[in-house]
Chain A
Amino acid sequence: MLAASLLVASFVIFAALYLAPGTPLAALSGGQPLPPGSAQLLEQRYHLNEPFLAQYWYWLDNALHGNLGVSITLRENVSTLIASRIWTTAGLVLYASVIIVVLGIGLGIVSGLRPGPLDGGVLVVTAVLAAIPAFVAAIALIMVFAVKLGWFPALGNGTSLLSNVRHFTLPAIALAAASLAIVARVTRAAVRAEGDREHVQTAVSRGIPARYVIQRHILRNAAVPITTITGITTASLIAVAAVVEVAFSLNGLGAYLVQAAEDKDIAVVQGISLLLVTAFVVVNLLTDLICAALDPRLALRDGAR
């Protein structure tokens, strides 16, 4: 499944950039026309004038042997360029996921179990958070917490592990905000739904302690939809990270993907896209596995994945 996805993805992306108007050379020259010799040389080196399938085959052949090609803009190996940025995006997405899981599920459970003013507050806050685009959140966070209050740095990656955490906090919050709201709402709904079920009511009426009821009955059964939505939103983080990376000047893969696509730096776009697709598929696979572990009945049901 993964291999099929990757193959189709790589073909589609290659075709898209091939069809796109403009040339990769435009990004190199800063706006002046290249001397004819330069243009010819570069076109030869990167096979830019050959037919589509030939170009695709060059790339595919290299890729299958582990060589992702060379960036036209930087004249450096794509693998190296990706490797140096992957930890930024991975760290950011991981940090945001932790926030989503802890805060999102936490708030959802708490508000699901206790109707009242806390619940109402959570509903309002999550409704607003879910509607805020990530880049709006980013700008607001920079203005308030970095520029006005100075609590966090405004941009960049930081140098040590500790300073990385500081530098990534605001971006992670911006990235996590909308998703955490959605997870919280779905968690709350799932917990509520389970709480109303017959077997739970029965357990409560029998005098079984609340904590036991919550753990064994409510959470156990609510775990599947909660895990599903968490998985979906985490997978989507990988893409939305691009917007946050741009706003905070983080050297991540998302920002680089957008830049490379605009520069028509084909090898870089291919490399990063395939990585994103793989990550997406892996996260979804993990989600399915966890769900199946939580509820064996799911594994037996229609398994056409």
Chain B
Amino acid sequence: MAAAEASASRRGLARLRATGPAGIASAAVIAVAAFAAAFGPLLAPYDPDLPNLSLSWAGPVGGHLLGYDFEGRDVLSRLLAGAQSSMLGPLVVVILSVTAGTLLAVTAAWRRGVSDTVISSGLNIVFAFPGILLAVLAAAVFGAGLPAAAIALSIAYLPYIARVVRGAALKERGQPYVAALEVQGASATVICLRHVVPNIGPLIVAQATILFGYAMVDLAAISFLGLGVQPPTANWGVMISENQDGLLAGHPLPAVAASLCIVTVVIAVNLLGERLFEQAQAARG
């Protein structure tokens, strides 16, 4: 097992190198964002949560490189603290939807027949629910907040990941090594988990990366509608929403800074995901 894992990570790094300079740069950006997400609150030079109305909208001065937001809080500190929920939300969405989606898709592809029809029809019904609608409903039931929005988006993204994985799993199932394993008496679960899924792994990772980008943008929009992360929790999407009045009032910096954070990470994620996807497609022929 250890040898398999070690070679898997070597393969992973090799794949990363093979994505070219754009891919590597994107990975670097994502790494920085992830680091900020993990350690942001510790790194923040000032208190990201304490309001001070006498300083509201004040410009960059002294150690406050990006100035103050509408409640007089340091923008840079708030961006760093906000990285956590801004990255965590999409991560949760991706993990949930990819796990559930892969499970459902592989089951459907393996079993065929009735299971496949039921799962595919179910997913098609989910497919018909626009993500925003699900988020609005989830907010109504569970109260506005990140958990509700994340669950809603996870459900909304299921059909997308499931469609990709199901197609790939179907193809995989037709490979000779699968028949060989079956003849040897390996159970379906073992074949799926130990062989099929790892083989279509690169495709799943690529799709997951792209979904991360979608989730980030969708969660920002959900915050704009007031249904996502609730202020005063620091969050990039919320910061755009909170500070947008500043755009028309001559204080664009807070909203623009938060927008740039989102846009930069999403570009990085999209680029990396595309490269990985191309790689995965090429490898599978």
Closest to A19 in B: B141
C-alpha gap A242/B139 in the complex (Å): 15
Closest to B270 in A: A130
Residue A236 at the chain B interface, CB threshold 8 Å: yes
Closest to B213 in A: A131
Q: Which of A5, A8, A128, A276 contacts B133 (CB 8 A)?
A: A276
Cβ–Cβ contact A242 & B128, under 8 A = no
Closest to B268 in A: A131
Q: Mark B256-285, 1 if CB is under 8 A from A, else 0.
A: 000100111011001100100010000000
Residue A21 at the chain B interface, CB threshold 8 Å: yes
Cβ–Cβ contact A304 & B116, under 8 A = yes
Question: With a CB–CB cut-off of 8 A, which chain B residues contact A243?
Answer: 132, 221, 224-225
Total chain B interface residues with beta-carbon distance under 8 A: 44
C-alpha gap A199/B76 in the complex (Å): 55
Residue B124 at the chain A interface, CB threshold 8 Å: yes
CB neighbors of B among A1-41 (8 A)? 1, 4-5, 8-9, 12-13, 16-17, 19-21
C-alpha gap A5/B266 in the complex (Å): 32
Closest to A273 in B: B133
Question: With a CB–CB cut-off of 8 A, which chain A residues contact B83?
Answer: none
Cβ–Cβ contact B125 & A8, under 8 A = yes
Closest to A8 in B: B125
Q: Are A128 and B137 also in contact (CB < 8 A) when A133-B224, A134-B221 are?
A: no
Question: With a CB–CB cut-off of 8 A, which chain A residues contact B8?
Answer: none
Residue B240 at the chain A interface, CB threshold 8 Å: yes
Residue B48 at the chain A interface, CB threshold 8 Å: no
Residue B217 at the chain A interface, CB threshold 8 Å: yes
C-alpha gap A262/B138 in the complex (Å): 11
Cβ–Cβ contact A20 & B263, under 8 A = no
Question: With a CB–CB cut-off of 8 A, which chain B residues contact A139?
Answer: 244, 247, 255
- Supply 21 A–B pairs (Cβ within 8 Å), ascending by A: A4-B121, A8-B125, A16-B138, A17-B140, A127-B271, A128-B263, A128-B267, A130-B270, A135-B220, A136-B262, A139-B247, A236-B131, A239-B131, A239-B132, A242-B132, A242-B225, A254-B132, A262-B140, A276-B130, A277-B128, A305-B120
Q: Which residues of A contact B (CB under 8 A)?
A: 1, 4-5, 8-9, 12-13, 16-17, 19-21, 127-128, 130-136, 139, 143, 147, 178, 185, 189, 235-236, 238-240, 242-243, 246, 254, 257-258, 261-262, 264, 273, 276-277, 280-281, 284, 302, 304-305
